[in-house]
Amino acid sequence: FSQKKWRQPVAASVVEIGGLKIAKEDVVRDDPTNNVPDAIFTKLGMQLHRRDKHPIGILKNAIYEYFDKNYSNKFEKFDNLCPIVSVKANFDDVLVPADHVSRSDNDTYYVDSQTVLRCHTSAHQAELLRRGCTHFLVTGDVYRRDSIDSTHYPVFHQMEGVHVFSPDDWGSSRVDATSYATQDLKACLEGAVEMRWVDTYFPFTNPSFELEIFFQEKWLEVLGCGVMEQEILKRSGKTDNSAWAFGLGLERLAMVLFDIPDIRLFWSTDERFTSQFAKGELGVKFKPFSKFPPCYKDMSFWISDSFTENNLCEVVRGIAGDLVEEVRLIDSFTNEKGMTSHCYRIAYRSMERSLTDEEINDLQNHGIVC
């Protein structure tokens, strides 16, 4: 598969973030380590989280209000930090090991060898701690090369929360600093929704947890969190403190709260979607305006050792854009010579109209978007 060959046409060549003008040439570069496609560049300036009438913006505002109310406006908010960050900020500063998979160019978008599109809002933790912030929320668009289905998209939004405690905070309680931060973290996040805690691992927290919510008959992971590794605090000049941190996937929670069935809808400019939401209104249930039939195509091919599913998904998305709903491995077999073949089922479905079999054949054969 050639990734450079099939590309959808793009209009914008400059985006503005936090007063900074970023040219396409600065992000989609000829650098050998660059793997940012045009379609990802166009998402850079969209900032859905800063639109008051968009479900992502409505949810962000509601969570900000929750924190203001419960913590008397103590949390500082950042929602305009540039998503182009250093490898150091994205990985080293939060103790991600040098050989961790998330650093690979199969998982992360690299602008050049020292610069990435942030893959989580944790990329801003250390910098803000160094600046002296002790209570903060960071909201922003994050970027990941990932598989394709109704709850995964290569661009999504996270909110990071960090709360640093000092010995005075846990001194009067009967528990140690870590237990104190753990209890406070869980109390802060446990809400009205049906949820459960799952133990997990992150390089930057210990203990670490995931919060899952029951949605569409399944447990859906909406956030990762934990007690911040002492090393991160120490490096930021905080030797006597303890802290909790969380990273919330805004799309996942918005899907539950607004009943939005597919993550691609957040990017829809169709009025039948956008007109259903209003500033400050969290209770609205999305009324699907259509459920057009899907068009399935099975595709088999021999794979080499360098094959990855993320690369396949990038190619499929480069050709079909948001028409692709899911890419799923349905069969795999290895012959006597040790060659492996994969069969993928690609589901195409438009949010706006019925697709014909013919146009999907054209699309697959020639990369033509009708």
**Residues at the site binding ligand FA5, with contacts judged by CB under 6 A:** 120, 122, 144, 146, 152-153, 156, 158, 160, 202, 204-205, 221-226, 245-247, 249, 251-252
Write down the least CB distance from residue 118 to ligand FA5, Å: 10
Instruction: Tell me if 367 sits within 8 A of 323, measured CB to CB.
Output: no
Write down the least CB distance from residue 192 to ligand FA5, Å: 18
Write down the least CB distance from residue 149 to ligand FA5, Å: 9
Judged by beta carbon, residue 152 or residue 345, the one nearer ligand FA5 is: 152
- Measured from the Cβ of residue 262, the count of other Cβ atoms closer than 10 Å reads 19
Q: 61: which 2 tokens?
A: 């505002």
Determine the angle formed by the axes of helices 55-70 and 250-258, rounding to 10 degrees.
100
Gap between the Cα atoms of 228 and 310, Å rounded: 30
- Residue 256 three-state SS: helix
Judged by beta carbon, residue 49 or residue 120, the one nearer ligand FA5 is: 120
Write down the least CB distance from residue 120 to ligand FA5, Å: 3
Judged by beta carbon, residue 214 or residue 333, the one nearer ligand FA5 is: 214
157: left (phi over 0), alpha (psi -120 to 50) or beta: beta
Write down the least CB distance from residue 83 to ligand FA5, Å: 14
Write down the least CB distance from residue 142 to ligand FA5, Å: 7
Q: 149: which 2 tokens?
A: 């289905």
Judged by beta carbon, residue 163 or residue 349, the one nearer ligand FA5 is: 163
- Helix, strand, coil percentages (3-state) for the chain, rounded to 5, are 30, 30, 40
- Rounded to the nearest 5°, which phi and psi values hold at 328? -130, 130
Residue showing tokens 């706006």: 352
Write down the least CB distance from residue 160 to ligand FA5, Å: 6
The one-letter amino acid code at 190 reads E
Judged by beta carbon, residue 57 or residue 224, the one nearer ligand FA5 is: 224
Query: Cβ contacts of residue 25 below 8 Å, gap of 6+?
Result: none
- Measured from the Cβ of residue 177, the count of other Cβ atoms closer than 10 Å reads 20
Judged by beta carbon, residue 246 or residue 348, the one nearer ligand FA5 is: 246
Strands (E), 216-320: 218-228, 242-249, 295-303
Judged by beta carbon, residue 198 or residue 329, the one nearer ligand FA5 is: 198
Write down the least CB distance from residue 189 to ligand FA5, Å: 12
Judged by beta carbon, residue 15 or residue 211, the one nearer ligand FA5 is: 211
Judged by beta carbon, residue 191 or residue 293, the one nearer ligand FA5 is: 191
Query: Cβ contacts of residue 370 below 8 Å, gap of 6+?
Result: 359, 362, 363
Write down the least CB distance from residue 308 to ligand FA5, Å: 15
Give the DSSP letter of residue 199: E
Instruction: Tell me if 106 sits within 8 A of 310, measured CB to CB.
Output: yes
Instruction: Tell me if 87 sits within 8 A of 116, measured CB to CB.
Output: yes
When CB distances to ligand FA5 are compared, the closest residue is 249
Give the DSSP letter of residue 149: B
Judged by beta carbon, residue 179 or residue 364, the one nearer ligand FA5 is: 179
- The CA distances from residue 347 to 94, 144, 157, 233, 244, in Å, are 37, 21, 24, 46, 40
Write down the least CB distance from residue 14 to ligand FA5, Å: 26
